[in-house]
Amino acid sequence: MPWVKLVVYESSTSGIYMDGYLPLYLPLVQKFYQTISRKNIIGLLFFESSHFLTELTAILCNLNSMNKRLLTDGRNIIYMLSLCIWMLQSCRNDHTDVAPTNVQLTTEISSDGSGYVKFIATADNAAYYYISFGDVSGATPFKSISGVADHIYNNSGNYEVVVTANTNEQVFTSFSTSISVSLNVPIPSGGYTSASSYSGMTLTKAEEFSTSSIDPSNWTFENGDGCPNCGWGNNELEYYTSQNAFIQEGYLIIKAKVESRGGKSYTSSRMITKDKFAFTYGRVDVRAIVPKGQGLWPAIWMLGSNINTVGWPACGEIDIMEMIGGNGREKTVYGTAHWNDGGYKSSGGSKTLSQGLFSDAFHVYSIEWTDSNINWLIDDVSYYSVPITSYNAAFKKDFFFILNVAVGGNWPGSPDGTAKFPQIMIVDYIRVFQK
C-alpha cells in the first residue's frame, strides 16, 4: 500500500498543524478529513515515501490560491485531498526511474604474473556500479561510482565477473562475463649462460628446477618473520611463506608481494639447503634475474653448516650476490664475506653495469672457492677476491645455500610509491663444480 507524507498548515497560527504519514486507504483518508475539516487549512504538502533508498519526490498543492469557500467546505476537502493524491501519483508515473542500458565491461589483465586486473564498467543511466570479482564465494561486491575497479587474483584460473549497473538500489541491470587470469611469470629470453663444464672439475650438484614443484629433498623453507631475531636481524619487513615460491617451466620463481601476514605488510620466500646439501670448495654458478624497486633486497648466499653450534658470524657467510633496489641501484650487485676474528669482520666488492639493470636480463653470479681464496665473478668476469688464511678459517668448512627476496631492512630501506609489487626473482639453475 503506498504512503504519502502530509504537512498540513493552519492559517490561524501560521504554523504546522499536522506532520505525518498517511496510507492511501479510503477509511483513513476519511478519518483524516474528520480531523482537519473544521480547521482553516491553507495548504497541504505531500511527499512520496516508499522504499528507504528511493528518492523522495515532493509536490506542493497550494490550496491558498483557490476559492476559500472550497477550503472551508468540509464536503470538498476529500475532493481536494484526492486531487493532490492523484497529482502525486501522476508525477510518480511521469518520473519512473529508468534502468541502465548498454552495460559493458572492459578488462585490462596484467601479463606480468601479478594477477592484477583493472575493470572499467560503463552503462547508460547508471549512477553507480557493483562488481563481483568471482574469486571469493560470498564476498561483498565492490561498489564503484566511476565504474573503475582494481583487483588482484591470487590464483590462476577462469573467473565469472558480475557487474550491476544501478540507477538506485531497486532499479539496476546486471551483466556477467568470464575472464582468464594467469599468474605465470614471463620468462625473458637471452642473457648470459655459463659453461656446462670446466677443465679439471666435475659437476657434483646441479639444481635445474626441472621438477613440477620444489623438491623437498633439496630445499627447506624458513618461514615467518625471524623472531625472536625479528626482522631476520636486519629489520626486514616481510613474512616468509612457502606459498611465494614455485617452479614454472624449469625456473624457480620467488615472488615478493604486498600481503598482510603475521603482522607484516609483505610476503616472500626464503629457501635453504641446510642438512640436505652442503659442500666445501668448488665453483658455483647461479643464473638468475633479480627484481627491482625501492626496498627490494634479493640475495643468493651461503652460511656455514655449523651455525647452530658456533652461531653467526663465527660460522662464516659468503654472499654470492646481493642487490638493493631503488634509485637506479639495480645496476650494482655485491659479493661479500663475513666472519668472526675477535669480533665481526667482513670484506666485499661490487660490480656496476655500464648500461641497463641487473633486473633486465639473466646474468650468472659465480664464486671460485678454494682453500686459499674466494673469487667473485659476474658472467665469468672476476670483480673481487678475498684470501683465506688462519684469521678467517671459517671458510675451510661446509656451507649450504640460501635463496631469498627480502623487503625493506637496514640496507635498502623501506619500499615507497615507486616500488611496484609483486616483484620476482627468477633462478634458472644452481651448479656446483669441484675438483
Return d(Cα 329, Cα 332) in angstroms, integer.
6
Burial class of residue 422 (count of CB atoms within 10 Å of its CB; 0-12, 13-18, 19+) = buried
3-state secondary structure 78-137: HHHHHHHHHHHHHHHHHCCCCCCEEEEEEEEECCCCCCEEEEEEEEECCCEEEEECCCCC
| Phi, psi dihedral angles at 394 (to 5 degrees) | -60, -25
What cell does 191 get? 642473457
- Strand order of the β-sheet with 116-124 is 101-109, 116-124, 148-152
Kindly report, residue by residue over 235-292, the tens digit of the pLDDT.
Answer: 999 999 999 999 999 999 999 999 999 999 999 999 999 999 999 999 999 999 999 9
Asked whether the bond before 216 is cis by omega within 30 degrees of 0, the reply is no
Check residue 417 and give its pLDDT.
Answer: 85
Burial class of residue 410 (count of CB atoms within 10 Å of its CB; 0-12, 13-18, 19+) = exposed
Return d(Cα 208, Cα 3) in angstroms, integer.
75
Q: Are strands 157-166 and 172-181 parallel, antiparallel or unpaired?
A: antiparallel
Identify the bridge partners of residue 149 per DSSP, sorted by sequence position.
119
**Around Cβ 223, how many Cβ atoms within 10 Å?**
17
Burial class of residue 33 (count of CB atoms within 10 Å of its CB; 0-12, 13-18, 19+) = middle
Query: DSSP assignment of 142-153, as one string?
Result: EEESSSEEEEE-
**pTM to 2 decimals?**
0.73
Positive/negative CA dihedral, 265, 271, 275, 281: negative
Among residues 370, 395, 401, 366, the alpha carbon closest in space to that of 200 is found at: 370
What averages of pLDDT result for each successive group of 10 residues across the chain (435 residues)? 47 48 49 51 40 33 38 44 50 67 96 92 96 95 97 94 96 96 92 97 98 97 95 96 96 95 96 98 98 97 98 98 95 98 97 96 98 98 97 97 98 93 96 98
Check residue 34 and give its pLDDT.
Answer: 56
Return d(Cα 203, Cα 198) in angstroms, integer.
9
Identify the bridge partners of residue 387 per DSSP, sorted by sequence position.
373
- Please, what are the domains in the chain? 3-94 (no CATH), 101-181 (2.60.40.10), 202-434 (2.60.120.200)
Return d(Cα 238, Cα 235) in angstroms, integer.
9
Query: Terminal CA-to-CA distance of the chain, rounded, Å?
Result: 94
Q: Are strands 381-387 and 363-369 parallel, antiparallel or unpaired?
A: unpaired
Which residues form the catalytic set? Answer: 317, 322
Check residue 82 and give its pLDDT.
Answer: 52
Among residues 306, 245, 294, the alpha carbon closest in space to that of 270 is found at: 245
**Around Cβ 252, how many Cβ atoms within 10 Å?**
23
Q: Could you tell me how far CA 410 lies from the centroid of its own chain?
A: 24
